[in-house]
Amino acid sequence: MSILLKVNLAILVFLAASSGVTKIMLMPQDVEFFGNYGFTNPILMLFTVWLSWVNINHGLRFP
């Protein structure tokens, strides 16, 4: 694997991890906002887990 591909992979891993951390940190604001529209905590947590799975799965399939 060339050095350019390794650098690209490292950048994508960093972006995926920081995206997940940001989503977790913003969860209270999401609950407050979406709670007004009838979304409950379990629905929002399932969405977060699903979104994380999609990010990880996509990252593993298309590095």
By percentage, how much of the chain surpasses pLDDT 70? 95
pLDDT at res. 37: 92
Q: What is the pLDDT of residue 45?
A: 82
pLDDT at residue 63 in the model: 59
The string of pLDDT tens digits covering residues 30-45 is 888 888 999 888 888 8
For the chain, which residues score pLDDT lower than 50? none
Report pLDDT for 42. Answer: 87
State how far the Cα of 18 lies from the Cα of 10, in Å rounded to an integer. 12
Q: Is the distance from CB of 47 to CB of 37 less than 8 angstroms?
A: no
